Amino acid sequence: MKKQLDSQTISKRTGERLGHIKNGSVVDNPWQTLRRYTDARIGLGRAGISLPTSAMLGFQLSHAKARDAVKLRLDTELLSQQLQQQLGEFTVDFPHSPIVLHSQAFDRTSFLQRPDLGRKLNGASRNSLLNFMTQQEGDSEPEYDLAIVVADGLSSLAVQHNAVPFLKQFIARIHNEKRPARLAPLTIIEQGRVAIGDEVGESLNAKAVLLLIGERPGLSSPDSLGVYFTWDPKVGVNDSQRNCISNIRPAGLGFDDAAQRAMYLLTQARRIKRSGIQLKDHSDYTSRDVLTQGGLPKRSFLTKPS
């Protein structure tokens, strides 16, 4: 005769299977209280010698989000519309519509398997930039202070969500400068990697390039936007000549703070004509720090600026 289980026993066994019961099957970790300070997977507890079911399901969900961020195609048409709408008040700075370009990586698979192809523009994109330049100002080639390039990189999700709010903060700062930088038309690149910004900057005859790109997703950050700044961009530039601002997203480095850092790099680079290891980011320090301490103070990277 089949044994009948009461409702309390059924509920207990279901809870044990899902890992939600704290009755001895799941052992809490004393470090769990620290999780309110970080997205890192610490203090997960255990069920026997394994992770609790809830922690395992959370890991699988984060892994799926990271994979989606890599494989989802960047909607360049939507991004172009968002840029024109959100930056509409700065039409003086951007009189031209964004130019959509493509790397030599034909699709996402070739982009992932052949990183070198993602660093070069394809033939049609090179012709687009060449045609744009020949149409400007007759025989005299225009010269720009800065070219802003948006590339999907390894997280189209980061670009789709965070490129526009960052640029809105950054362009506002340029617009309010006493000597605003002359901006090349915005470019959006599909299947692009960091170095492709150098070719775009050189083709547009720009003194500097600011590349916005989706960073390699982490399990707690599938939407991190990175910004790379390079003075005197040209094909073959070494990575040591770039400055990077990383982890730009609502749960990471805020848009206002990131825009301030990018503006600092641009301002200092225009002054010293350098970038990369020859241009340090001291945007955290105020002029008061320099005056009162006789120079830039030494600060531990483990502490936040006051």
Binding residues for adenosylcob(III)alamin: 194, 215, 244
Letter string b/e over residues 1-27, b meaning 16 or more CB atoms within 10 A of that residue's CB: eeeeeeeeeeeeeebbeebebeeebbe
The helix (H) or strand (E) run that includes residue 200 is helix 196-203
Check if the beta carbon of residue 246 is closer than 8 Å to that of residue 182.
no
**CA dist., res. 101 & res. 262, Å (int):** 24
- Would you list which residues are annotated within the binding site? 194, 215, 244
Angle subtended at Cα 208 by Cα 203 and Cα 214, rounded to the nearest 5 degrees = 85
C-beta atoms surrounding 269 within 10 Å: 22
* C-alpha distances in Å from residue 270, one per residue of 169, 181, 280: 20, 10, 13
